Chains A and B, each alone.
Chain A
Amino acid sequence: SQQGEEDPQALSIQEGENATMNCSYKTSINNLQWYRQNSGRGLVHLILIRSNEREKHSGRLRVTLDTSKKSSSLLITASRAADTASYFCATDAENQFYFGTGTSLTVIP
Protein backbone atom coordinates (compact mmCIF):
# COMPACT_ATOMS: atom_id res chain seq x y z
CA SER A 1 0.00 0.00 0.00
CA GLN A 2 1.21 3.52 -0.76
CA GLN A 3 -0.96 4.99 1.95
CA GLY A 4 0.55 7.69 4.08
CA GLU A 5 0.52 7.42 7.83
CA GLU A 6 0.11 10.34 10.18
CA ASP A 7 1.56 10.48 13.63
CA PRO A 8 0.29 10.97 16.27
CA GLN A 9 -3.23 9.66 15.76
CA ALA A 10 -4.53 12.19 18.28
CA LEU A 11 -3.08 15.36 19.76
CA SER A 12 -4.48 17.64 22.44
CA ILE A 13 -2.89 21.02 23.20
CA GLN A 14 -3.69 24.31 24.88
CA GLU A 15 -4.61 27.33 22.81
CA GLY A 16 -1.50 29.29 21.89
CA GLU A 17 0.78 26.25 21.81
CA ASN A 18 2.29 24.84 18.63
CA ALA A 19 1.07 21.59 17.11
CA THR A 20 3.27 19.28 15.06
CA MET A 21 1.99 16.40 13.00
CA ASN A 22 4.05 13.97 10.98
CA CYS A 23 3.40 11.98 7.84
CA SER A 24 5.34 9.05 6.46
CA TYR A 25 4.84 7.48 3.06
CA LYS A 26 6.28 4.60 1.10
CA THR A 27 6.98 5.46 -2.52
CA SER A 28 8.44 8.27 -4.59
CA ILE A 29 6.12 11.24 -4.98
CA ASN A 30 5.65 14.30 -7.16
CA ASN A 31 4.12 16.33 -4.38
CA LEU A 32 2.64 16.03 -0.91
CA GLN A 33 -0.40 17.88 0.29
CA TRP A 34 -1.96 18.55 3.67
CA TYR A 35 -5.69 18.80 4.22
CA ARG A 36 -7.92 19.70 7.16
CA GLN A 37 -11.28 18.12 7.90
CA ASN A 38 -13.68 19.68 10.35
CA SER A 39 -16.26 17.40 11.90
CA GLY A 40 -19.03 16.55 9.45
CA ARG A 41 -17.40 18.39 6.56
CA GLY A 42 -15.29 17.66 3.52
CA LEU A 43 -11.53 18.00 3.41
CA VAL A 44 -10.05 21.41 2.76
CA HIS A 45 -6.69 21.81 1.04
CA LEU A 46 -4.11 23.61 3.19
CA ILE A 47 -0.76 23.47 1.44
CA LEU A 48 1.12 21.64 -1.31
CA ILE A 49 4.84 20.99 -1.24
CA ARG A 50 6.66 19.64 -4.28
CA SER A 51 9.24 16.90 -4.13
CA ASN A 52 12.06 19.35 -4.90
CA GLU A 53 11.07 21.66 -2.03
CA ARG A 54 12.18 21.22 1.57
CA GLU A 55 10.04 23.74 3.42
CA LYS A 56 6.99 25.84 2.74
CA HIS A 57 5.05 28.40 4.76
CA SER A 58 1.47 29.60 4.62
CA GLY A 59 0.32 31.90 7.40
CA ARG A 60 0.64 29.95 10.67
CA LEU A 61 1.42 26.73 8.80
CA ARG A 62 4.88 25.39 8.12
CA VAL A 63 5.41 22.22 6.15
CA THR A 64 8.68 20.36 5.73
CA LEU A 65 9.46 17.52 3.40
CA ASP A 66 12.33 15.03 3.62
CA THR A 67 12.22 12.81 0.57
CA SER A 68 15.20 10.76 1.75
CA LYS A 69 13.22 9.73 4.84
CA LYS A 70 9.90 9.76 2.98
CA SER A 71 8.38 11.97 5.63
CA SER A 72 6.73 15.35 6.06
CA SER A 73 5.67 17.43 9.01
CA LEU A 74 2.99 20.05 9.48
CA LEU A 75 3.53 22.68 12.15
CA ILE A 76 0.68 24.93 13.26
CA THR A 77 1.97 27.82 15.32
CA ALA A 78 0.02 29.76 17.95
CA SER A 79 -2.89 27.34 17.76
CA ARG A 80 -6.49 28.46 18.12
CA ALA A 81 -9.62 26.62 19.17
CA ALA A 82 -10.78 26.89 15.55
CA ASP A 83 -7.82 24.72 14.50
CA THR A 84 -9.55 21.74 16.12
CA ALA A 85 -9.97 19.27 13.26
CA SER A 86 -8.44 16.20 11.65
CA TYR A 87 -5.40 16.72 9.47
CA PHE A 88 -4.47 14.45 6.59
CA CYS A 89 -1.48 14.17 4.35
CA ALA A 90 -1.93 13.03 0.76
CA THR A 91 0.72 11.81 -1.61
CA ASP A 92 0.35 11.50 -5.35
CA ALA A 93 1.61 8.48 -7.19
CA GLU A 94 0.39 6.61 -10.25
CA ASN A 95 -2.11 9.34 -11.12
CA GLN A 96 -4.00 9.20 -7.85
CA PHE A 97 -3.87 10.54 -4.32
CA TYR A 98 -3.22 8.37 -1.30
CA PHE A 99 -4.44 9.67 2.03
CA GLY A 100 -3.32 8.75 5.51
CA THR A 101 -5.68 8.05 8.39
CA GLY A 102 -5.22 11.51 9.83
CA THR A 103 -4.24 13.20 13.07
CA SER A 104 -7.10 14.39 15.24
CA LEU A 105 -6.09 17.73 16.77
CA THR A 106 -7.95 19.22 19.72
CA VAL A 107 -7.08 22.76 20.80
CA ILE A 108 -8.35 23.53 24.27
CA PRO A 109 -9.40 27.16 24.82
Chain B
Amino acid sequence: DTAVSQTPKYLVTQMGNDKSIKCEQNLGHDTMYWYKQDSKKFLKIMFSYNNKELIINETVPNRFSPKSPDKAHLNLHINSLELGDSAVYFCASSQTYNSPLHFGNGTRLTVT
Protein backbone atom coordinates (compact mmCIF):
# COMPACT_ATOMS: atom_id res chain seq x y z
CA ASP B 1 0.00 0.00 0.00
CA THR B 2 2.21 2.81 -1.29
CA ALA B 3 1.16 6.06 0.37
CA VAL B 4 2.64 8.44 -2.23
CA SER B 5 3.41 6.98 -5.62
CA GLN B 6 4.92 8.72 -8.59
CA THR B 7 5.63 7.52 -12.11
CA PRO B 8 7.84 7.03 -13.93
CA LYS B 9 10.81 6.24 -11.71
CA TYR B 10 13.25 7.09 -14.49
CA LEU B 11 12.76 9.43 -17.40
CA VAL B 12 15.37 10.01 -20.09
CA THR B 13 14.53 12.46 -22.82
CA GLN B 14 16.04 14.94 -25.23
CA MET B 15 16.19 18.70 -24.97
CA GLY B 16 13.10 20.44 -26.23
CA ASN B 17 10.71 17.61 -25.46
CA ASP B 18 7.63 17.88 -23.25
CA LYS B 19 7.15 15.36 -20.46
CA SER B 20 4.87 14.66 -17.49
CA ILE B 21 5.38 13.06 -14.12
CA LYS B 22 2.37 11.68 -12.27
CA CYS B 23 1.79 11.60 -8.53
CA GLU B 24 -0.95 10.07 -6.44
CA GLN B 25 -1.45 9.89 -2.67
CA ASN B 26 -3.88 7.62 -0.82
CA LEU B 27 -3.46 9.25 2.59
CA GLY B 28 -6.37 11.64 2.30
CA HIS B 29 -4.01 14.57 2.75
CA ASP B 30 -5.10 18.08 1.85
CA THR B 31 -1.77 19.38 0.58
CA MET B 32 0.57 18.04 -2.10
CA TYR B 33 3.98 19.28 -3.21
CA TRP B 34 6.63 18.95 -5.87
CA TYR B 35 10.29 19.21 -4.85
CA LYS B 36 13.41 19.22 -6.99
CA GLN B 37 16.60 17.64 -5.65
CA ASP B 38 19.80 18.55 -7.45
CA SER B 39 23.04 16.61 -7.71
CA LYS B 40 24.22 18.07 -4.38
CA LYS B 41 21.07 16.75 -2.69
CA PHE B 42 19.67 20.25 -2.17
CA LEU B 43 15.89 20.03 -1.99
CA LYS B 44 13.90 22.98 -3.27
CA ILE B 45 10.15 23.30 -3.24
CA MET B 46 8.59 23.96 -6.62
CA PHE B 47 4.83 23.92 -6.03
CA SER B 48 2.25 23.04 -3.46
CA TYR B 49 -1.48 22.50 -3.85
CA ASN B 50 -4.06 22.72 -1.10
CA ASN B 51 -7.54 21.49 -1.94
CA LYS B 52 -6.86 21.94 -5.65
CA GLU B 53 -5.64 25.50 -5.28
CA LEU B 54 -2.07 26.52 -5.91
CA ILE B 55 -0.83 28.20 -2.77
CA ILE B 56 2.90 28.38 -3.34
CA ASN B 57 4.78 28.94 -6.54
CA GLU B 58 8.49 29.49 -6.09
CA THR B 59 10.67 31.08 -8.75
CA VAL B 60 10.15 28.21 -11.14
CA PRO B 61 10.18 28.70 -14.92
CA ASN B 62 6.73 28.73 -16.45
CA ARG B 63 7.79 25.71 -18.50
CA PHE B 64 6.84 23.80 -15.36
CA SER B 65 3.14 23.53 -14.64
CA PRO B 66 1.38 21.54 -11.94
CA LYS B 67 -1.99 19.98 -12.68
CA SER B 68 -4.27 18.65 -9.98
CA PRO B 69 -7.38 16.86 -11.26
CA ASP B 70 -8.43 16.04 -7.70
CA LYS B 71 -7.14 16.17 -4.13
CA ALA B 72 -5.30 12.85 -4.48
CA HIS B 73 -3.33 13.72 -7.61
CA LEU B 74 -0.75 16.35 -8.49
CA ASN B 75 0.97 15.91 -11.83
CA LEU B 76 3.94 17.88 -13.09
CA HIS B 77 4.17 18.91 -16.73
CA ILE B 78 7.42 20.20 -18.15
CA ASN B 79 7.62 21.84 -21.56
CA SER B 80 10.69 22.45 -23.70
CA LEU B 81 13.02 20.50 -21.45
CA GLU B 82 16.52 21.88 -20.87
CA LEU B 83 19.74 20.23 -19.72
CA GLY B 84 19.49 22.04 -16.40
CA ASP B 85 16.19 20.35 -15.67
CA SER B 86 18.04 17.10 -15.01
CA ALA B 87 17.41 16.24 -11.37
CA VAL B 88 15.33 14.02 -9.13
CA TYR B 89 11.78 15.26 -8.69
CA PHE B 90 9.87 14.28 -5.57
CA CYS B 91 6.18 14.43 -4.94
CA ALA B 92 5.05 14.76 -1.32
CA SER B 93 1.87 15.25 0.67
CA SER B 94 0.93 16.42 4.14
CA GLN B 95 -2.26 16.75 6.17
CA THR B 96 -1.69 20.46 6.70
CA TYR B 97 1.03 22.82 5.56
CA ASN B 98 3.18 22.36 8.68
CA SER B 99 2.63 18.66 9.42
CA PRO B 100 5.10 15.92 8.39
CA LEU B 101 5.66 15.34 4.72
CA HIS B 102 5.21 11.95 3.07
CA PHE B 103 7.43 11.59 0.03
CA GLY B 104 7.25 9.46 -3.06
CA ASN B 105 10.39 7.64 -4.19
CA GLY B 106 11.28 10.20 -6.80
CA THR B 107 11.57 10.46 -10.56
CA ARG B 108 15.08 10.76 -11.91
CA LEU B 109 14.87 12.99 -14.97
CA THR B 110 17.82 13.04 -17.37
CA VAL B 111 17.78 15.47 -20.23
CA THR B 112 20.28 14.78 -23.01
A residues near B (Cβ < 8 Å) are: 30-31, 33, 35, 37, 40-45, 48, 86, 88, 90, 92, 95-99, 101-102
Q: Please encode chain B, from 18 to 38, with 1 for each CB lying within 8 Å of some chain A CB and 0 for all others.
A: 000000000000000001000
Distance in angstroms from A46 CB to nearest chain B CB is: 9
Q: Determine the residue in chain B with the shortest Cβ distance to A41.
A: B105
Q: When the two chains form their complex, are residues B43 and A96 in contact, meaning their CB atoms are under 8 A apart? A: no
A-B contact count (CB 8 A): 52
- Secondary structure at the A interface, as helix, strand, loop or mixed, is strand
Instruction: Flag whether B4 is at the interface (Cβ < 8 A).
Output: yes
A92 touches B101 (CB 8 A): no
Contact: A95 with B41, CB < 8 Å? no
Q: Is the CB of B105 within 8 A of A42?
A: yes
Closest-CB distance, B109 to chain A (whole angstroms) = 14
- How distant is A21 from chain B, measured CB to nearest CB, in Å? 14
Q: Write the nearest CB–CB distance from B83 to chain A, whole angstroms.
A: 22
Question: What per-residue 1/0 map shows which CB atoms of B28-72 lie under 8 Å from chain A?
Answer: 000000010000111111001000000110000000000000000
Q: Which 9 interchain pairs have the tightest Cβ spacing?
A: A42-B103, A45-B100, A99-B43, A92-B98, A43-B103, A42-B105, A95-B97, A102-B41, A101-B42
